[in-house]
Amino acid sequence: MLSSTSQIPILCLLLLFLLSTTIFQTCNSAQPGNCNEKDRSALLNFKLGVDTPSSNTLSSWSINEKDCCSWKGVQCDNTTRRVTALDLHQQYLEGEINLYSLFQIQFLTYLDLSFNGFTALNHLHGYSNNNLSNNIHYLDLSFNRDLHLDSLHWLSNFSSLKSLNLSQINLQNQTNWLYSIDMLLPPSLLELRLSSCHLTNIFPSTKHVSFTKSLVTLDLSANYFDSELPAWLFDRGGDMNIMHIDLSLNFLQGQIPKSLLSYSKLESLRLSYNELNGSIPGWLGQHQNLKYLSLVDNLFHGSIPSSLGNLSSLVDLGISSEFLTGNIPTSIGKLFNLKSLFIGGNSLSGVLSEKHFSKLSNLETLFLDATFSFDLDSKWIPPFQLNGLILSHTILGPKFPAWIHTQRSLEYLEFPNSRVSSVDGDTFWRFVANITEINMSHNNISADLSNVTLNSEIIFMNDNNLGGGLPRISENVVFLDLHANSFAGSISPLICHKIGRENSLDYLSISYNLLTGEIPDCWENWKGLSFLLMESNMLTGELPPSMESLIDLLILDLHNNSLSGDFSLDLSNLTNMEFIHIGENNFSGAVPVKMPHGMELMILRSNKFEGPIPTCINKFRSMDGAEKTTHYPFEFNLYFKGQELEYHDYGLLRTLDFSANSLSGNIAKEIGNMKNLESLDLSQNKLVGEIPDTISVLSFLSFLNLSNNNLVGQIPVGTQLQSFDISCYAGNPGLCGAPLAVCYHEPNPDEGHNDTDKEDSFRQSLYFGMGVGFAVGFWSICGPVFFNRTWRHTYFRFLSTILDKLHEFVAVRSSN
């Protein structure tokens, strides 16, 4: 038996061993591969409700992978290995957001699930707040557009929240959203973003809202408030720390309140795209900390106050209104920190001199949209180097000014409707070759482009007097619009020129020129084309076989040429195609049947097609219940009572137009299977027999013309068919029944319908249907653009460039 003194060293050794083991285990738990098991379990539970149909984002979230800190989007503390942040924005995730699972992560402070496709949110009902984390400071669920939230009570669990972003989430059922947020959000909140949430009431008479005391950033843009500016925001500037306010795109009315002057810390004020009136207050010039001021597209009148030149911190200034008058004050030229300047208005005018730009050495973008003229020395060199220059509706011409040639950093240059008629030959074309986007449309520029190679990605040169042969293009060109010029000769120099590698061209319009000759057989070089518009030229001959290789083609418009021969192309493999217009040509033979099943508009009018209407025509699935597609607008025409109606179509009007041919036989009964057909024109043919009863079930039919055939019998009874004007059935002596003369066995119908009223009714119903369709379709096409920076850069610039020509989606042009 050991003595007590001899046991002491052994005891010490034992204690030392235990201590070493504990230290080893502690250190080992902090090593990679051993994240906290509770956090790992919570993340796996969250994953159970998530779908990843178009990505493998969460493939690393494996039950076999022990280190959750290495999983996609997961961030951990380097020492404790506890999860502190989860960032899964723009990962194409769908399904349910299980907040309860995420709240089990004790030290989670940052949660970003934005730009995904989540459709449901676990509201945490039935769970005690004691079991949930209250450490989240940053929560971003924005741009989950299919996520509808009927309740905001779950926000009460975020007791430490500093930043909340629910933009682009549907909150339209939140009738008292301001009260809910005021009651549920903590006083620690610094940033609140509720842009495009379908909110409809801003509660302008409410005066006391507690959460705004600590608020630094408030974004309520793009909602539907339709009221005056709220007292709860603008009458309490003295005890608020707010620095950033965005209330743009809200139909807000009234004047800018002078109480805004008490916001001494204000750095950004965005009130664009509202209906604010009165004058632009001069006292805005006292906001010495203001960096961003956006007042674009309101109803302000009077002049632009010169006091805005005192805003020495200003970085971004935007002002426009149809009712502003006068010139830009020269004091704007003192804003040496200014990077972006936008001034516009139909009634603004005046002469801009070097004083207007004297100290703008940091200017990067300049956008003027008014009838300003320029008094600048021919040798003037601006103090700035711009990235973007837009001079729309200015008096820039007649000669393109030399000072613009000094801008060597331009990414986009636009001067539409600016009265320019001449450019400096090769110098100009070399200059624009280095610019990504160029818009010189709607001028009167005369130049021969036969020996010019265009290099910009986006090119608008339409509506000028450009002539000679068509130019060549480089592989960089994505969008090329040359319509409404004076180009002559063959299209071969453009189409058959071998670029050297795969080109990028997606949109080509050479319509309304003087082009002649046959369409060349070298389309295999342009397989990426989606839009091909060559209408209203003098092209002749048959269509070449290589056009079948345009596998991405969406729109094909060849109407109003002199093309001929049988339409023998097999386009059935062009699965994206939805529109073809080959009217006003000399095509002959049978009606083309080798067409893609996704077709939505097929216009063959004014040709020499003959024979029966193919019974397989009902195979166009887009006209048989399939969801409509959306695309960039383009024009096409319908005819009604001798009038030509011109539409800007957004893929919303499903049309068959076989009029003015030599078609014979009966109207195919299968047309009645095209349940969503909206426009049908079979007039001026040789059709015989009765109108098939199946047409009466076409409940969406808003345009019908069966006139000038040899149809007989009673018009089928149906609400749609009786509502059309009698001119839709004229020229068929054998037809009877409402709205024509009564058949011998029919009772007398009511008479006295006014043709004009019916025409107006037709137009109203047609425009209303197209308008609703456009409202729904707009976000479905624009939504994905937000997810991709390259798309935003290219296509949003494209969309904004053509805003003027697309502002009205329906235009009516009468031709007697």
Partners of 587 in the beta sheet? 565
- Edge-first strand order for the sheet with 643-649 is 634-640, 643-649, 810-812
pLDDT band at 1 (very low <50, low <70, confident <90, very high): very low
pLDDT band at 425 (very low <50, low <70, confident <90, very high): confident
The pLDDT value recorded for residue 640 is 44
Long-range contacts of 242-245 (CB under 8 A, 24+ apart): 242/212, 242/215, 242/216, 242/217, 242/218, 242/266, 243/216, 243/217, 243/267, 243/268, 243/289, 244/216, 244/217, 244/218, 244/219, 244/268, 245/218, 245/269, 245/270
Instruction: Identify the DSSP state of 591.
Output: P
Q: Would you say residue 9 has pLDDT above 60?
A: no
Report how far residue 480's alpha carbon sits from residue 449's, in angstroms, rounded to the nearest whole number.
14
Q: What is the pTM of this model?
A: 0.81
Report how far residue 185's alpha carbon sits from residue 206's, in angstroms, rounded to the nearest whole number.
18
Where is average pLDDT lowest: 254-263, 624-633, 736-745? 624-633
Span 534-550, average pLDDT? 96
The chain-wide mean pLDDT, for the chain, equals 84
- Tell the residue number behind the tokens 């058949």, with chain if given: 743
Domain ranges of the chain: 554-812
Q: Would you say residue 453 has pLDDT above 50?
A: yes
Each residue's pLDDT tens digit, 248-306 = 999 999 999 998 988 889 999 999 999 999 999 999 999 999 999 999 999 999 999 99
The token pair that represents 312 in the structure block = 């020495």
pLDDT band at 719 (very low <50, low <70, confident <90, very high): low
Each residue's pLDDT tens digit, 73-97 = 999 999 999 999 999 999 999 999 9
- Residue 129 DSSP SS3: helix
Report how far residue 397's alpha carbon sits from residue 421's, in angstroms, rounded to the nearest whole number.
7
Residues 6+ apart with CB under 8 A from 150: 173
Q: Which of 682, 753, 692 is nearest to 724 (CA)?
A: 753
- Whether 314 and 337 have beta carbons less than 8 Å apart is answered as yes
Give the pairing type, strands 608-611 and 586-589. parallel
- Whether 385 and 360 have beta carbons less than 8 Å apart is answered as no
Q: Is 41 left (phi over 0), alpha (psi -120 to 50) or beta?
A: alpha
Give the pairing type, strands 388-392 and 365-374. parallel
Residues 6+ apart with CB under 8 A from 247: 220, 221, 229, 270, 271, 274
Q: Break the chain down into helix, strand, coil percent, rounded to 5.
A: 25, 25, 50
- Residue 499 DSSP SS3: coil
CATH number of 554-812: 3.80.10.10
Report how far residue 225's alpha carbon sits from residue 253's, in angstroms, rounded to the nearest whole number.
10
Backbone angles phi, psi at 439, to 5 degrees: -130, 110
Other beta carbons within 10 Å of 108: 22
756 alpha-carbon distance from chain centroid = 37
- Whether 486 and 466 have beta carbons less than 8 Å apart is answered as yes
Where is average pLDDT lowest: 494-498, 614-618, 644-648, 770-774? 770-774
Q: Which of 698, 708, 703 is nearest to 761 (CA)?
A: 703
Where is average pLDDT lowest: 44-58, 569-583, 631-645? 631-645
Q: Would you say residue 771 has pLDDT above 50?
A: no
Give the pairing type, strands 50-51 and 94-97. antiparallel
- Tell the residue number behind the tokens 């082009």, with chain if given: 515
